[in-house]
Amino acid sequence: MADVHVLWITAGLSCDGDSVSITAASQPSIEDVLLGAIPGLPTVHLHNQVLAYELGGDNDSFMQWYDKAERGELDPFVLVVEGSIPNEKIKSEGYWAALGTDAATGQPITTAEWVDRLAPKALAVIAIGTCATYGGIHAMQGNPTGAMGLLDYLGWNWKTPAGLPIICVPGCPVQPDNFMETVLYLLYQVAGMAPMIPLDEAHRPTWLFGKTVHEGCDRAGYYEIGDFATEYGSPKCLVKLGCWGPVVNCNVPKRGWMAGIGGCPNVGGICIGCTMPGFPDKFMPFMDPPPGSKMSSSIIGIYGGIISPLRKITQHTANKEPAWRRKGRELTTGYRGRW
Ligand code: SF4
Ligand code: SF4
């Protein structure tokens, strides 16, 4: 079985939080995958600016893997993109985001250019975190960069030469085991030991994002009896403090954050919908109660038959991106320059 290289671009618009998050994975850990501790997997080499361990120390030795992949000398490789892709076409000079420099011109190579060069040669393309999947914080209304996620940049119907659609593992940041489990699945698929990875309409692995936050929340019992928190620090349901859990696809309350511990509402934080294509705009302002949460406590116990269909409508809307995240030469985010 051929070695698999993972080329992980952290040079999108992001905080590098996904790379940091992955250091906490344990199901499996990144060390287990790279050190060959899991039976049946090919040998894996990781090339990530934050996590790389095979470096001689200078920048050239890191970039050589990207150059080799572009020349078709690295086969197979998986392309992982972290951070949203800014629109480099909306201006006449300068650049928003880049990785490495062109040896001939000495000019930076933009992140968008790397995606153009490498995605068509990759075995699989994975977008890690909500910035890379759907655009995230950088792609909110009024942004100056025209940022978008990989689905908008390459196209929702885009596929690798092997026929794989873009695989999205959203989260702000990504839940570490969600990403590593997706990588593990892909590696088993490469090894011929797993069928095509199942994805939902937003390209998320179905077994990880098929349920809502609410369905896995420790506080759901309070919700059912209409007992709601009115201030932080309460163990009760947080819906009236702004929790969007009932319409958000995410397994974090069930899975926990690190080693099974944590998971936003379980530990007192409202769900702000960070795994959804509509994030953040459709969930703002974050601290306001979401639609339907203003219902009185006495009604909540009997409203299941009415509210369930309404929830489906809201969930459908939250799973759609705002219209301005798209390619082209025009900035359509509503940004107004101050200079
Ligand atoms: S805190 Fe949020 S996710 Fe948990 S039960 Fe309440 S509404 Fe549902
Ligand atoms: S529970 Fe909500 S805020 Fe927390 S990770 Fe999941 S989608 Fe994001």
- pTM for the model: 0.94
pLDDT in tens, 202-245: 999 999 999 999 999 999 999 999 999 999 999 999 999 999 99
pLDDT in tens, 248-301: 999 999 999 999 999 999 999 999 999 999 999 999 998 888 876 665 555 555
The answer to the question of residue 328 being in a domain is no
Ligand 1 atom 7 nearest Cα: 239
The answer to the question of residue 329 being in a domain is no
Q: Which residues contact 166 (CB under 8 A, 6 or more apart)?
A: 125, 126, 127, 150, 151, 154, 158, 203
Burial (CB count within 10 angstroms: exposed 0-12, middle 13-18, buried 19+), residue 84: buried
Q: What amino acid occupies position 119? A: A
Q: How far is the CA of 336 from the centre of ligand 1 (A)?
A: 37
pLDDT in tens, 97-153: 999 999 899 999 999 999 999 999 999 999 999 999 999 999 999 999 999 999 999
Domain count, the chain: 2
Q: What is the CATH number of the domain that holds 198?
A: 3.40.50.700
Quick check: CB of 223 below 6 Å from ligand 1?
yes
Q: Which domain holds residue 82?
A: 4-208
Is the same domain home to 101 and 137?
yes
pLDDT for residue 166 is more than 70: yes
- Largest interatomic CA distance in the chain: 71
Write down which residue in 208, 232, 258 finishes a domain. 208
Question: Tell me, what's the pLDDT at 303?
Answer: 55
Strands 108-110 and 98-101, sheet pairing: antiparallel
The secondary structure of residue 333, as a DSSP letter, is S
Q: How far is the CA of 274 from the centre of ligand 2 (A)?
A: 5
Ligand 1 atom with least separation from CA of 253? 3
Quick check: CB of 273 below 6 Å from ligand 1?
no
Is the same domain home to 174 and 223?
no
Q: Which residues contact 86 (CB under 8 A, 6 or more apart)?
A: 12, 13, 96, 97, 111, 112, 138, 145, 146, 147
Q: What amino acid occupies position 300? A: I
Q: Which residues contact 198 (CB under 8 A, 6 or more apart)?
A: 205, 206, 207
Is the same domain home to 149 and 220?
no
Quick check: CB of 229 below 6 Å from ligand 1?
no
The residues lining ligand 2, judged by C-beta closer than 6 Å to any ligand atom, are: 171, 213, 248, 250, 252, 264, 271-275
Quick check: CB of 265 below 6 Å from ligand 1?
yes
Q: What is the CATH number of the domain that holds 221?
A: 4.10.480.10
pLDDT in tens, 48-100: 988 877 665 555 578 899 999 999 999 999 999 999 999 999 998 999 999 99
Ligand 2 atom 2 nearest Cα: 271
Q: How far is the CA of 312 from the centre of ligand 1 (A)?
A: 16
